[in-house]
A and B are shown apart, each in its own frame.
Chain A
Amino acid sequence: MSGEWIVETHDLTKKYGEHVALDSVNLNIRPGATGLLGPNGAGKSTLLKTILGLIALTSGSGKVLDHDIATEGPKIRQRIGYMPEYDCLIPDMEAIHQVRYAGELLGMNSNSATQRAHEVLEYVGLRDQRYRAVSTFSTGMEQATKLACSLIHDPDLLICDEPTNGLDATARGFMLDTLFQVVKQGGRSIIMSSHLMDDVERICDRMLMIHKGQVIAQGRIQDLKAIDREIEISVWGGANRIEEKLKDMGQSVRRTGRVMRITRIDETTYRTIIKAAAETNVQIRKMEDYEPSLEDLFIVIMDRLGYSVKSSKDLLAGPTPTMDQAALQGRKVA
């Protein structure tokens, strides 16, 4: 891979009849771990199929791992490991043979595929279970087998579609640790589609959010979090007074009981807060920069798009008519 980007698209558009699945998508994904977020029907699946070089584009162009999306689909898929969200395993086959066959379908010869299947099943924690039929596996073991299938040829890019779907806490932790190691230890890149913000935040340093076929945010999570930095204070003795005072002083305040978050404009915001406390005779018992989570970032982005959501669950579960109306007025955040 010679380029700076692993995925690069220019005005990528895909229409299914009248329905626009991808609308002039311009992507620049760097090597590393990137989270793909978006509600159901946002165009995530279409984007993944595009990256895999599986669908004919309506217009635009793109490259994945320096291969053209439109003309070099098979070459792209040779270098990508894809872990589907849903079942994709042959139930009565043993895990070792399933993984070996996945390798053979990529063009590995049978001996190499068998040897590598042992290695990757060991890697995903299934060494002792590799001769068991997949139908006897738990959900976690099935997910691990799917991951082994996608890792068998040591891909440059791993695409994971909801890798922790249906896993309990222990198995989920193991899956995320394994994916993390693929990036950090193996030096491979991952595009991970997930509805779970925590999972994305744990693995990915970058994120890509799409909605209604458009990219609404992309970049480093840390940078995106800096869109709205806040200062969190805990006050005693007159929370209403200081809230009013801060608002009078032109500050943006979010309050839950005695805890308030004030949008940090610049360094002077600290002084303003302390001044407001002094003038209203209110004790500030704690003041610190608030580290927003990806969930907070999501809410901020959706808020800017005109949605009123309390958590990602409100939107990721699926669009509602109200949300559709809001999306019409949507604008790009980044």
Chain B
Amino acid sequence: MTEEEDFGLDDLLEGFTPTPPTQDPAPPTNLPVPAPPSEAEFMGESGAVTGKARMEAAYGTGDGEGQGVAMVAQSAKVEAGTIFHQVYRPWRGNLNPRWVRNWSIFRHHVYGLFSKGHRPWPMTTKLFIAIVLFGSLIPILTMAMSVLTGLSGLMEFYGVSRANLWGHVLGVFHNTCCWPLLTALVVGGLISEDRQHGTSAIYFSRPVTRTDYTLMKYLSASAILSMIIVFSYCAYYVAAIIFNNEGWAYLLDTLPFFLGGLVAAVMLVVTFTSIGLALSSLSSGRFFPAVAFLGIIFGSRILAFLIKLLFERDTLYLISPYDNLAHVGQWMMGLNTTYDFPPAWSLVSLLLMNGVSLYILISRVNSLEVTRE
């Protein structure tokens, strides 16, 4: 062909005759057939077992490090070196309703204190809870000792009375060394750690609403605090009845202020949980909420105390959650109040504190993201 001649694709294809595809030669029949793998590796799927761990093959942590291909992913062909069959198995169960999901959140937090597999509470927190619980049960042990030894002085000192019941929940010692520290340790990381670790995505990408999430976190925290504060309070009262072999008359005499103390204990748990969770929702770590909570409880008390010393006015105790609780508790248990202003002011102050805390908590939980941008 010369350059002047017309040139086309047909010219290129001219003379090209397609050849039929050749068939692969038949495999020789006398070759030994490899024995099928004898050991089932995964749920009845047979495969060669090399003894290598799956992670070694999948993530190159062992002998397979130099290999460019993850051998674990080869599902269809069983060859030497295949570790396991990756078979997708459907699940045909039913998903339970809302309350089961909520129960799982509650259980995750509360059971974590006692057993593995749930929320991993720090050992220091568990230890502190055990010590506080033991400490709050000391009056019971003392009463038991009094009954066993016949030392009536012990019973008079540790026995049930208005002041002792009030002191068990709202006494200065418990509210300096026990309950605030307990709350700081328990509540500090409940929401902040979800923010820190991105765990909120696990909750909110599932059919858990923010209301459920907040409510169950709140209930979990208050349940743990109640387990110590309310339980030990009730146990103290019941133990006094049992040890002294008291009858109906004692019950009628003491039940009103016992119930007053019980309500005060619940109010303490609720208020501390509200403030603690609100602080936890503001942060991404457990340290700040814990320290801030202690700062609010102790700082407000100290500030109000100093103002009282300097100006002989105790109205500033209204900013102290503890003093508001103590004041309302005194009023409910029929004790003489130690504050100059009416208990209703303290009650209103407590309601305001709880309201503000819950508002912060709800708005901050609403800002928790499923996707980070």
**Chain A residues packing against B (C-beta within 8 Å):** 45, 48-49, 52, 54, 73-75, 77-78, 80, 82, 84-94, 97, 100-102, 104-110, 112, 116, 119, 122-123, 125-129, 138, 140-141, 144, 149, 152-154, 161, 168-171, 173-174, 177-178, 181-182, 185-186, 188, 270-271, 274-275, 278, 281
Contacts and interface: CB of A to CB of B under 8 A. Distances in A.
7 closest pairs, A vs B, by CB?
A: A177-B73, A186-B88, A107-B95, A74-B207, A174-B70, A104-B104, A82-B205
Interface in B92-127: 92-93, 95-98, 100-101, 104-105, 108, 116-120
Contacts of A107: 95-98, 100-101, 207
A127 B373 CA distance: 33
Contact of B87 (A87, A93, A102, A123): A123
A68 B225 CA distance: 41
Contacts of B372: 45, 84-86
Contacts of B90: 154, 186
B12 interface: yes
B167 interface: no
B8 interface: yes
Given A125-B54, A144-B58, A177-B70, 17 more contacts: A52-B205, A74-B98, A77-B206, A77-B207, A84-B205, A89-B197, A90-B197, A104-B108, A106-B95, A107-B101, A110-B104, A125-B59, A129-B55, A170-B58, A181-B88, A186-B90, A275-B8
Contacts of A171: 58-60, 70
Contacts of A170: 58-60, 64-65, 67-70
B337 interface: no
Interface of B: 3, 7-9, 12, 42-43, 53-55, 57-61, 64-65, 67-70, 72-73, 75, 84, 86-93, 95-98, 100-101, 104-105, 108, 116-120, 197-209, 370-373
Nearest to A125: B58
A118 to B, nearest CB: 10
Given A52-B370, A91-B197, A278-B3, A123 B59 contact: no
A128 B55 contact: yes
A119 B105 contact: no
B86 A75 contact: no
Contacts of A93: 117, 119-120
A122 B206 CA distance: 22
Contact of A181 (B53, B86, B92, B370): B86
Given A90-B199, A174-B72, A138 B97 contact: no
A321 B220 CA distance: 49
Contacts of B91: 112, 116, 119, 152-154
Contacts of A119: 89, 91
B60 A108 contact: no
A88 B198 CA distance: 4
Contact of A173 (B73, B116, B205): B73
Most buried by A among B55, B61, B90, B206: B206
Nearest to A97: B117
B197 A88 contact: yes
Contacts of B205: 52, 77, 80, 82, 84
A126 B54 contact: yes
A177 B72 CA distance: 9
A85 B87 contact: no
Nearest to B90: A154
Given A88-B201, A119-B89, A174-B59, A274 B8 contact: yes
Contacts of B116: 94, 97
Contact of A102 (B3, B93, B206): B206
B40 to A, nearest CB: 13
A112 B59 CA distance: 28
A173 B70 contact: yes
Contacts of B98: 74, 107
Given A170-B58, A182-B88, A108 B75 contact: no
A143 to B, nearest CB: 10
Given A90-B119, A138-B59, A169-B68, A105 B203 contact: yes
A19 to B, nearest CB: 12
Most buried by B among A125, A152, A281: A125
B369 to A, nearest CB: 9
A85 B371 contact: yes
A111 B43 CA distance: 19
Given A107-B97, A107-B101, A109-B100, A185 B119 contact: no
Contacts of B104: 101, 104-105, 110
Contacts of A112: 91, 93
6 contacts: A86-B372, A90-B119, A125-B55, A144-B58, A153-B95, A170-B65
A186 to B, nearest CB: 4
A321 B95 CA distance: 48
